[in-house]
Amino acid sequence: MSLEKLSKTSQQIALVDCNNFYASCERIFKPKWAKRPLGILSNNDGCIVARSNELKEAGIPMGAPYFQIRDQLDEMKAVIVSSNYTLYGNMSARVMNTLGQFTPEIEVYSIDEAWLDLSGFCHLSLDAYAREIAATTLRHTGIPVSVGIGPTRVLAKIANRVCKKRKIPGRVFNLGSAESLDHVLETIEVQDIWGIGRRLSKKLRASGIHTAKNLRDADPDSMRRQYSVVMQRIIMELRGVPCIGVEEIQPKKQIISSRSFGERVVELEPLLQSVAMHSTKAAEKLRSQNSVCGAIQVSIRTGRHNPDEEYYSQSALAKFAMPTADTRKLINAAGQVLRRIYRKGPRYAKAGVMLLNISQDNAMQGHLFQERDSEKAIALMNTVDQLNRLYGRRAVFFASEGCTQQWAMRRQQCTPAYTTRWDDLPVVR
C-alpha cells in the first residue's frame, strides 16, 4: 500500500506510552537518581520488571531473577527498589487525566499506555498536536511519553516503537508522515509486532516470514487457515485496515487475586488465611464494578524452579447456586475448596483465587428456593468498602484473613507513597 493511500485513511490512532514508566515515577521524587541506572523489582522482590535506559543498554533483560544478576547490578552501582504500585497508580491517573484533556476519545490500555482516537484532526496539524500532548504531559506530570500514530492499532504500536528506538525529538512518530512505510516495516522484526509472541514468531520465521513487511504481504486467508483469525487480523491491520476496534471499558469477566508468599508455607492455617485475604480483595474488585460472581476457583502451588523439589500445583472450583458478591460466602467457599486440594508436605510458594461467571447484579433474577444476597448483606459489604476507602486498606477486615500474616510478601526496598500518604509527602527545603 502506498503512503499516499495510507495518509488518506480516515482513522488516526495514537498510542501514548510512558517511557520507562516505573523508573520515571521513582526519579521524579529522587532527582539524584536521574543519572543512575535504576531497576524496579516485582512483587516479593523476585525479578526485575522495569528498567531505566541504562539497565536496558547494559543488557539486563526484562524479568531477570534478581538474585542472579545482583553482582552485576552492584558493579554498575545501580539503584534497585521494590515496586511501589501505590505511587505508580497515582502517577498513572495524573497522566491519563492530562491526556483526557486533549480528546474525549481515550481508552486507557494499561497502567502506562493509552489509545487516543485523533481521527478528527486533519493530517497537517496531527503531528504538531501530538507533540503538544507529549510536551504538556511532561510539564504537568513529570513523566516523559512517546506518541506513535497510524491508521490502525497495530501500526500505531509500530510507530510508537520506532519513536522510542530512534529517540525522536518531540517524541512523536507518525507513520503517515514517514519516509517510506515499506522501509519502516522492513526494520520491524516479526516478534516485535503487537500480538506476535515467542511461539508464533518462531513458527513464522521457520516459514520465511521475518519482518513486518513480510507478514503484511502474506495471504490473509491462507494465514488464517494456518494460524487463526487473530493472525489474519494482524495482517489486515498491517495493511491499514482496522480490525481491532476501540472497545469501551467493559466490566471484567474474571477477577484474580493471587500472590507469592514472602517465605514458603507448609501448614493449612496460613494458606486458609491467604486464600481468605485474596477472596476479600477479589470481592472488593467485584463490588466496585457492581458485579456478582457465580463461582470461585482456588489455586495453590509450590515453587516452579527447583528441580530437586516435587512440583505440586492444584486448583478447584466451587459454584454458587445464586451469584453473590458477599465476602463471607466467598471466604467460606474458598476455604472448603482449599481443604479439598490441600496436601500436607509440599512447601507452597503461592496461592490465589479467581472469581468466575461474573454478571451484572442488576441483571440477576430471583430464584424460587435460593436467596440472592440480602439487602442486609449488601449494606454490610458497602459499609466495609466505604470504611476501607476512607481509612485505608484493612481498616476493617475478616478475622479469617489473619492478623499478622507472616507469609505476606517481601518488599524490602520500597520507596515512600509520596503522592498518596500524608506521612510520605516529600519535604522541600
Partner DNA sequence: TCTGGGGTCCTAGGACCC
Distance of closest approach, residue 327 Cβ to DNA, in angstroms: 16
Residue 361 C-alpha from the chain's centroid:
26
Q: Which is nearer to DNA, 141 or 258 (CB)?
A: 258
Q: Which is nearer to DNA, 30 or 285 (CB)?
A: 285
C-alpha to C-alpha distances, 33 to 19, 75, 352, 423, nearest whole angstrom: 16, 16, 36, 22
Q: Which is nearer to DNA, 195 or 220 (CB)?
A: 195
**Is 32 among the residues that bind DNA (CB under 7 A)?**
no
**Amino acid in the structure at residue 275:** V
Which window, 117-125, 193-201, 210-218, 368-376, contacts DNA (CB under 7 A)? Answer: 193-201
Pick from 8, 34, 109, 125: which binds DNA (CB under 7 A)?
109
Residues with Cβ within 8 Å of 375's Cβ and at least 6 positions away in sequence, in order, are: none
**Is 378 among the residues that bind DNA (CB under 7 A)?**
no
Distance CA 4, CA 177 (A): 9
Q: Which is nearer to DNA, 7 or 337 (CB)?
A: 337
Pick from 79, 218, 275, 349: which binds DNA (CB under 7 A)?
349
Footprint (CB under 7 A) of DNA, residues 246-305: 247, 250, 252-260, 264, 281, 285, 303-305
**Is 63 among the residues that bind DNA (CB under 7 A)?**
yes
**Is 3 among the residues that bind DNA (CB under 7 A)?**
no
Footprint (CB under 7 A) of DNA, residues 144-173: 157
**Is 345 among the residues that bind DNA (CB under 7 A)?**
no
Name residue, grid cell 507448609.
266
Q: Is the Cβ–Cβ distance between 264 and 304 less than 8 Å?
A: no
What is the length of the chain?
A: 429
Three cell numbers, residue 226: 494456518
**Is 111 among the residues that bind DNA (CB under 7 A)?**
yes
* Helix (H) or strand (E) run with residue 371 in it: none
Burial category of 51 from C-beta neighbours within 10 Å (exposed 0-12, middle 13-18, buried 19 and up):
buried
CA angle centred on 265, ends 261 and 269, rounded to 5°: 110
Check residue 264 and report its DSSP letter. Answer: E
**Is 61 among the residues that bind DNA (CB under 7 A)?**
no
For DNA, what does the binding mask look like between residues 227 and 246, x meaning CB under 7 A? -xxx----------------
Distance CA 31, CA 357 (A): 47
Name residue, grid cell 477479589.
282
**Is 123 among the residues that bind DNA (CB under 7 A)?**
no
Q: Is the Cβ–Cβ distance between 298 and 356 less than 8 Å?
A: no
**Is 413 among the residues that bind DNA (CB under 7 A)?**
no
Picking from 244, 9, 285, 254, the residue whose alpha carbon sits closest to that of residue 109 is 244
Pick from 13, 24, 96, 113: which binds DNA (CB under 7 A)?
113
Pick from 35, 67, 343, 393: which binds DNA (CB under 7 A)?
67
Total site size for DNA, rule CB under 7 A: 51
Which residues lie near DNA (CB under 7 A)? 42-44, 46-47, 49, 63, 65, 67-68, 109-113, 157, 193-201, 228-230, 247, 250, 252-260, 264, 281, 285, 303-306, 317, 349-350, 352, 409
